[in-house]
Structure 1
Amino acid sequence: MSLSNAMHLVVLPGDGIGPEITEATVAVLEAASTRFGLGLRLDPDMAGHESLKRHGTTVRPELLDKVRAADGLVLGPMSTFDYTDESKGGINPSMFFRKNLDLFANVRPARTYPGVRHHAAAEFDLIVVRENTEGFYADRNMESGGSEILVTPDVCISLRRITRLCCERIARAAFRLAATRKKHVTAVHKANVLKIGDGIFLDECRKVAAEFPGIVLDEIIIDAMCAHVVRAPQNFDVIVTTNMFGDILSDLTAELSGSIGLGGSVNAGARYAMAQAAHGSAPDIAGQDRANPLSLILSAAQLLDWHAERLGSSAFAAASRAIEAAVAEAVAAGESTSDIGGRLGTKATGQAIVARLAEARAA
């Protein structure tokens, strides 16, 4: 991993609609690099079905070293449900990189956009910060094997790992983010039932909160939170929670904004980060120029912002904001895909954002 003023990104287009939305995202990144002098180097490679066909595995071992030597990863949607047998090369690329790069924070913004019909009572702008390396996920809790145990053909036990280290660092990520926003963190839990695990989570959130006296901390039980966020999402700023609750809440808030296709997502750790669309590979519309590329484009903008914070670079931060603004302007003008009320295809949607970035540079 380099720490130069330039940025080297590995780009893995993925499966289904992945190549189409990745192409649009790469065009936007190149336009942002030109406008802000970022010196982006975009290095295409493969993972998923194409890699399985050519190399007998969805993720080649040397690909991890390549990503570690870069500044970040852009990962297109993967057909993860197809990859069930690692002994036959069916490795889940998303899980593989999250685990091997220790990408502990899944940061998922959700906001309403002018021009898009949303499902909330009022406009809102919030971020779900989800712990990403443990919790009720069978692939993230054990050194080897899964954490679901089939006791008999009719009885399964699922284990959840919760550690103070992971709770502390996800809480810290949330408070640091809230310090740049509306200074409000909501910790979502189920400590009334999961008394020990979620008790540890809340304890660490409170400890970190004591270091940020200017930030308000609320604590809400997950089932009540689902009702609150549907009724009044505008009341929330940064939501921090454990893995499974965050997975559910981030999809819910993205859909409240009008479409999960508007939900950006970055998976970040101390040294590495990965931009990844919030949705799946949608093979039913692959190759039809219908897929919405905005989730991956917004995720790439988040990746630039992560790099900006790491370097203290105003150019990368400005590029991230400019992409987000160009997306909002394009959506408001109807220059987006039909799923959010627009009139363009995948490629043209990307080009509409590129054009806005170029116009701003010329001005």
Structure 2
Amino acid sequence: MRVYEIAVVDGDGIGPEVCQAALSVVKSLPGLDGAFAFKAYLAGAQEYRRSGSAYPEESFQGCRNADAILHGAAGLPGVTYPDGTETGIEFGLQTRFRLDLYANVRPIKLRPGVASRLRDRVPGDIDYVIIRENTEGLYAARGSGVVLRDETAVDSLVVTRKGVERISRFAFELARARNGAPRDGKKRVTLCDKANVLRSYAFFRKVFNEVAEQYPDVEADYAYADAMTCHLVERPEFYDVIVTENMFGDIISDLAAVTVGSMGMSPSAELGDRNGFFQAAHGSAPTIAGRNVANPYGTILSAAAMLRWLGERHQDGRLVRSAAAVEAAVDASMAAPGGLTMDLGGRATTRDVTQRVIDNLSRASAAA
């Protein structure tokens, strides 16, 4: 039986709590004894304080060579480089760029038991995926921007044909595999851009359209980024798959997460041709670290995405079935009385949620 090596980086703030919660769930899965080798690595703002490096080379090599990477959260207030940029985010950014994790997959789904911040929305109304191009765009300028004479600062927005082609194709292939938008069942890919203002985004749209022609069974749709912030509030049921540039994807996915409860409900997968990096999209929330109140659902769902990706990549049905089991256990936990955490209006603790999910997995296994 294959043993999958998982690089585990707890990170900062609530990172260790939510990461270890997800690991406890994975370790409890029936039928997977001995399937994983978990190896811990250091990275983040606390590591920068300790060693002077936010991402030691040993940690990078371990992450690069692992079958998958599971992360908690990173960053601490005031822990910055001399130029004022955060040290904690170095781990995520460098992992994306150095391992070419070009597709950031952020599912937005209203789950049972959660009250949407949008009036009258119920589970089934909101179910779409944001595909964020992860290695180009404005964030590609990280570390290479220019400050002239303390008077002018410049960062460049980078868009390449290769980058747009592969992220657009990824989005259309995902739409083909999904059930369509909740409103009308149509398989649809919406491009979010500012093609009316900047040539870089107009070029992104041009290449997107070339790829769209290869998918006549999937509807191509368009929305400017400013309008998209309205649409995700007013008509979220219209959307199936949304694809966008790096910074826009960062912004609209945070807004979208709040519509389905909170940032704690925002799993993500960052995928390349070889490597996969899995974490919740929320921050490190240092003000609640160590209080046992952090919402671990996003990280647990990210671990489920890791299982599915590994299972599909290696044709291992055990992992695909386990991913579905974890998602079902999360839904059952949230739908039951007392299953919501503080950020969702409930009182369940981090440990409460973890144990609920594990118990639901055990009950489902016994019933089967």
Provide the TM-score with structure 1 as the length reference: 0.91
Q: Which residue of 2 aligns with 1:186?
A: 190
Secondary structure, counterpart of 1:225 in structure 2 = helix
Amino acid at match of 2:353: T
1:158 has 2:158 as partner: no
Q: How big is the alpha-carbon RMSD for the aligned residues of Structure 1 and Structure 2?
A: 2.2
User: In structure 2, how many angstroms separate the alpha carbons of the residues matched to 1:17 and 1:41?
Assistant: 23
Contact 1:120/1:232 (8 A) holds in 2: no
Count of aligned pairs between the two proteins: 353
Segments ≥4 residues shifted beyond 6 Å: none
Which of residues 22, 27, 31 is equivalent to 1:30? 27
Moved more, 324-333 or 230-239: 324-333
Question: How far 1:82 moved relative to its partner?
Answer: 4.5
Q: Which residue of 2 aligns with 1:61?
A: 57
Q: Which residue of 1 aligns with 2:184?
A: none
Question: How far 1:45 moved relative to its partner?
Answer: 2.4
User: In structure 1, how many angstroms separate the alpha carbons of the residues matched to 2:100 and 2:77?
Assistant: 22
Moved more, 230-239 or 212-221: 212-221
1:244 has 2:247 as partner: yes
1:343 has 2:347 as partner: yes
Residue 224 to residue 56, structure 1, CA distance change in 2 (3 Å) = closer
1:125-140 equivalent positions in 2, closer than 5 A: 125-137=127-139, 140=140
Question: How far 1:74 moved relative to its partner?
Answer: 0.7
Amino acid at match of 1:98: R
Contact 2:13/2:289 (8 A) holds in 1: yes
1:55-204 equivalent positions in 2, closer than 5 A: 55-79=51-75, 82-85=78-81, 90=87, 92-121=90-119, 122=121, 123-137=125-139, 140-141=140-141, 145-147=143-145, 149-181=146-178, 182=180, 183-194=187-198, 196-204=199-207
Moved more, 128-137 or 207-216: 207-216
Contact 2:102/2:135 (8 A) holds in 1: yes
Q: Which residue of 1 aligns with 2:319?
A: 316
- 1:74-114 deviation per Cα after TM superposition (whole angstroms, max 9, x unaligned): 11111165453289x94621112111111111111111122
1:290 has 2:288 as partner: no
Contact 2:116/2:259 (8 A) holds in 1: yes
Amino acid at match of 2:165: E
Contact 1:7/1:38 (8 A) holds in 2: no
Amino acid at match of 1:9: I
1:18 has 2:21 as partner: no
Provide the TM-score with structure 2 as the length reference: 0.90
Contact 1:275/1:300 (8 A) holds in 2: yes
User: In structure 2, how many angstroms separate the alpha carbons of the residues matched to 1:130 and 1:225?
Assistant: 14
Amino acid at match of 1:95: L
User: In structure 2, how many angstroms separate the alpha carbons of the residues matched to 1:60 and 1:36?
Assistant: 31
User: In structure 2, how many angstroms separate the alpha carbons of the residues matched to 1:90 and 1:261?
Assistant: 22
Residue 176 to residue 81, structure 1, CA distance change in 2 (3 Å) = farther
Question: How far 1:159 moved relative to its partner?
Answer: 1.4
Of all paired residues, the percent bearing the same amino acid is: 38
User: In structure 1, how many angstroms separate the alpha carbons of the residues matched to 2:45 and 2:144?
Assistant: 23
Amino acid at match of 1:132: N
Secondary structure, counterpart of 2:252 in structure 1 = helix
Question: How far 1:341 moved relative to its partner?
Answer: 3.0
